[in-house]
A and B are shown apart, each in its own frame.
Chain A
Amino acid sequence: MLIAQNIGFAIIAAIMIVGAIRVVTTSNVVHGALWLVVVLAGAAAQYVLLAAEFVAVTQVLVYIGAVMVLFLFGTMLTRSRIGRDSGLNNTYWKMGIPVALALFAAMAIALIDSFGSEKMPSDGSIVNTQQISDQIFGPYLLPFWALSFVLLAAVIGAIVLARKD
């Protein structure tokens, strides 16, 4: 069981990392969006592996369903060339590599130092969807309301910004 989980984790993680690298290196905006779908779907699979099925379904609906359509429309409406585009990177894009590597080294040292070989609780209580709803409509009710106003403001703001007048 645990071995199967680890094999699944390794395969999905490898796919996610390849997809993420393709997102930031591809020279085609539409291909970038489609590689992002691979990463987001891999993240949803990892959530299932972590017994968070409700978040996984939300991820598929919101990200792969809605956000990806937004990205493709954004690509379409801004004449980002459909096809290869050599002007996607900054002139100083190489600076990003040492920054990312240094950041990863710092985080990896901190993580290995603090968690070492700690294992996930294998018989621990699985968080079910009912507990999440009890949290959202219990102690987190006020942030939930605030969040609905954020979404409302974002929708109105997006319409105001994008409409032609």
Chain B
Amino acid sequence: MTDASMPSATPETRHKVSLVTPDARTQKRKAAEKRFRMYGIAGIATGLIFLVVLLVTIVSSGMGAFQQTFINVPVYLDAAKLDKNGNRDIDEIKKVSTFGYTPLIQDALLQQVRDAGIETPLEKRGDMKALISASAAAQVRDTVIENPDLIGQTVDFRILASSRVDGYLKGRVLREDVARDKNIDATHLDIVDALVPLGVMQKTFNLAFITGSDASESRAESAGIGVAMIGSLFMMLVVLVLSLPIGVAASIYLEEFAPKNRITDIIEVNIANLAAVPSIVFGILGLAVFIQFMHLPQSAPLVGGLVLTLMTLPTIIISTRASLKAVPPSIRDAALGVGASKMQAVFHHVLPLAAPGILTGTIIGLAQALGETAPLLLIGMVGFIASNAPDGIASGLLDPNSAMPAQIYEWAKRADPAYYERAWGGIIILLGFLISMNTIAVILRRRFERRW
């Protein structure tokens, strides 16, 4: 209506228009565009700032977990304590619990402090407890049980320092705070200060954080994410083995063979809906179906994998269908034209061309499943679970285990501040996995994707 009336209403403004000097309306439009671009740049900048802040926080809080303080100490393995009868019988040696080994290690450290000529009011063996990790006794005991001939000798051990000592060397535990801490005193820190230049105490790279198992709250210093990583690996294996064939078969049928009718429409809508279902719902479903109904074991990576498969399937089906759709009909027509059956056309020609897209979708689906925590909370994968490394495929699938994100969640809840650092360290490792999986997906897409 206004369009029709405009030329007649403003006849004299029309020939004033010049392309060199923009009129008010053009300027306004250009200004609007400029503003819009500014909004866009501001949006990207905000996003980048958040990303940088996030990454800086993660790296600065988590790097500490990759370093740990160790004590080099020669321990005299007293035969009178470890093998009272002196016949080196392995069953009798096993009867000496870790509580029997603790005094030997404390004596050894005390001796070292004396030999170094460090002046300290701490003169009892029990005073050394605050410096040594509770894991040391188990480490020494395992060594002795593996090699009983060491009894009676003095053996060099590299044991973990307690989390408070480690925190002091990392700057987390401050001198002015330890007065209120019943676990450690300033006199202990004096010993630490004296032992560090002698090389007895060292802060070095801690491989055990990447390969080790979870530890209880009394020894944060020995906790590692390794066993949870294996748990995640087995879960991803289950997800891959189940969701890739099921997902690809379902999408090939739906895309290439199924008649277009109301039923397939309903299925299609429901697959799209399933992709949007919150993951915690799959957790509840897993608890009800796999554990309570099918009696699969609680906390098993197999169950976790099954639950994550349900979650990943829609993602894989949707991406597979998209990549099948992207293969032009001429390929199918040509194959059918030279006498191939429908199935031959699909499996010999369409599927290979769609494979890079399918793989990309699968990897992204797996990455999503790898970082998922919520459904795992319900099937018992949070707690003190990841303590035994599995010894085989069946045990890897069925024995209780945790997963990386669940382990991080568990660490973040624990009281000792050393666990907080480990939670961040775990996040770095998890992010490393996710970034490399996504990179592989991008590379696959770049290298093999074909455009028609």
Genuine A/B complex = no
